[in-house]
Amino acid sequence: MADLFATRPAWYVLGPLIGLVVLGLAALVGQRIGALGGYSEIVERSTGRISGLGWKFWFLAGIFGGALAFRLVADPRVVADGYGWLSAAFSEDAVVALALVGGGVLIGYGAKTAGGCTSGNGLGGCSAGSSASFAATATFMGTAIAVSLLTEALFG
C-alpha cells in the first residue's frame, strides 16, 4: 500500500478517471462538473439564502479531503517540495500561506464574476461542446502559460 503513494499518479491514469467523473455526473445528476458551485453553496448557506448543502459542496469537500488524505499518506519525498518556486522564494510558511489564500480569493472572485470556474468550463463545458467554454478555457490556459513564463523569468 505504501508503494501506491510513493509517486504522484501519472496523467494517463488521472485523465481518464476525471473523464469518468465528468461523464458520471452528467449521466447521474444531469449537471456539469465544477468546484465553484461548492464555494457558492457555502456562501449561500452562511447568508441564509439556502437551507442546506448539496452535492456541489460535497464535491468541493472531496477535492480538499482527497488532497489532505494524499498529503497525509504519501511518501514524504513526494510532497517535500512544498509549493515549488513559491516555497523556494519565500522561506516563511506564513508568507506562502498568505500568497495561496490571496491567490485563491482572486481566483474565486474572477470565477464568480466570469460565471464559471476553470474546472466547470475546461472539463464540463468543453466536453459538452460549449463554444463559450472553449473560449474561456483558451483564455485561462493562455494566461496561465504567460504568467508562468513571466514568473520563471522573474524568480526562476
The whole-model pTM stands at 0.71
Is the per-residue pLDDT at 150 higher than 60?
A: yes
Residue 124's CB is within 10 A of a number of other CB atoms, namely 20
HEC sequence for the chain: CHHHHCCCCCHHHHHHHHHHHHHHHHHHCCCCCCCHHHHHHHHHHHCCCCCCCCHHHHHHHHHHHHHHHHHHHCCHHHHCCCCCHHHHHCCCHHHHHHHHHHHHHHHHHHHHHHCCCHHHHHHHHHHCCCHHHHHHHHHHHHHHHHHHHHHHHHHC
Rounded distance between C-alpha atoms, residue 137 and residue 51, angstroms: 33
How confident is the model at residue 1, as a pLDDT? 56
In terms of Cβ atoms closer than 10 Å to its own Cβ (0-12, 13-18, 19+), residue 21 is: middle
Tell me the pLDDT tens digit for each residue of 64-83: 898 888 878 877 776 666 77
pLDDT band at 152 (very low <50, low <70, confident <90, very high): confident
What pLDDT, on the 0 to 100 scale, is given for residue 20? 93
Mean pLDDT of 133-137: 89
Question: For the segment 29-48, what is each residue's pLDDT rounded down to a tens digit?
Answer: 888 888 888 888 888 999 99
What's the pLDDT at 2?
Answer: 57
Instruction: Tell whether the torsion through CA atoms of 40, 105, 150 and 68 is positive or negative.
Output: negative
Q: What is the pLDDT of residues 4-32, one digit of tens each?
A: 667 778 889 999 998 998 899 889 988 88
Distance (Å) of CA 45 to CA 52, 103, 129: 6, 23, 31
Q: What is the pLDDT of residue 117?
A: 82
The pLDDT assigned to 80 comes to 66
Residue with the larger pLDDT of the pair 153 and 114: 153
